[in-house]
Amino acid sequence: MACFTVPLAAAAVATATKLSLPESAKGSPFVAKLPWLEKMMFGGSLILALEHVYHGEVIFRPPFLTAMTEGPEAVSEMLHEMATRGVAMTLLVIAVWAGMVAVSRAKTWSFARFNGTMILAALGAALMFAVDMLADVI
């Protein structure tokens, strides 16, 4: 219902962090690769939000989330989904991003000229969909 909002909020925090860091901190490999995380989070959230629009879980008028119009039980279910699926999606994307940064630091696989915005967005979306599908199975 609203699981995509958690990685979206994490992407906003990553952007704010990147913008507020002093110049001395920008030499860190993790700070230098924050754009990768932003692209994975924003792209994945956008694609997941479009999927939610397609399924009628998000509407284009306030309150935007259909669960908000269906009563307290639906809101409780939505908050539970955000706390479980949304947090799991966010943690998985962050873990994969950290792995990508670590691998690029080891220079065994160089991302030196890697700027594939669509590839990063698709990777973020694939990770988020995987968590969403696994949650349905479990």
| pLDDT at position 122 | 83
Q: Is the pLDDT confidence value at 12 over 90?
A: yes
Lookup result for tokens 């698709």: 122
Percent of the chain with pLDDT over 90: 54
**Where does residue 43 rank: exposed (0-12), middle (13-18), buried (19+ CB within 10 A)?**
buried
Q: Is the dihedral of CA 112, 21, 89, 92 positive or negative?
A: positive
pLDDT digits (tens, 9 = 90+) for 80-137: 999 999 999 999 999 999 988 887 777 655 555 556 777 888 888 889 888 888 888 8
| CA distance between the termini of the chain | 17
| pTM recorded for the entire structure | 0.83
**Where does residue 51 rank: exposed (0-12), middle (13-18), buried (19+ CB within 10 A)?**
middle
Q: Is the pLDDT confidence value at 46 over 80?
A: yes
